[in-house]
């Protein structure tokens, strides 16, 4: 069975109620909050994907692998 993954933003003060609602829906297979580390990783990946998109459009120039290695 294929499942769609969905990320939603819920204000902290409503998080408990939001999770109860999601878990009460029969078609929701799993509902769990992201850890702080996972949230940061997701944000970083979204930013990286946006940079790649802009690079492909010719709007920004990305560093080469050699430039990145030289920074280390």
pLDDT of 1 over the 90 cut: no
Contact 23, 29 (CB under 8 A): no
pLDDT tens digits, one per residue of 57-68:
999 999 999 999
**Average pLDDT of span 3-19:** 95
- Which residue's entry shows tokens 């920004």? 60
Q: Would you place residue 31 in the very low, low, confident or very high pLDDT band (cuts 50, 70, 90)?
A: very high
Indicate the pTM of the whole model: 0.68
**Cα distance between residue 15 and residue 18, in whole Å:** 5
**Could you give the CA distance from residue 22 to residue 29 in angstroms, rounded to a whole number?**
9
Mean pLDDT of 28-50: 95
What does the angle CA 28 – CA 13 – CA 43 come to, to the nearest 5 degrees? 65
Distance CA 40, CA 63 (A): 22
**pLDDT for residue 15 is more than 90:** yes
């Amino acid at each position: 069975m294929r499942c769609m993954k969905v990320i939603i933003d819920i204000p902290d003060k409503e998080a408990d109620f939001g999770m109860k609602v999601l878990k009460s829906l029969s078609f929701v297979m799993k509902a769990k909050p992201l850890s702080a580390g996972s949230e940061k990783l997701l944000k970083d990946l979204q930013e990286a994907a946006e940079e790649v998109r802009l690079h492909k459009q010719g709007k920004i120039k990305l560093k080469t692998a050699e430039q990145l290695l030289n920074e280390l």
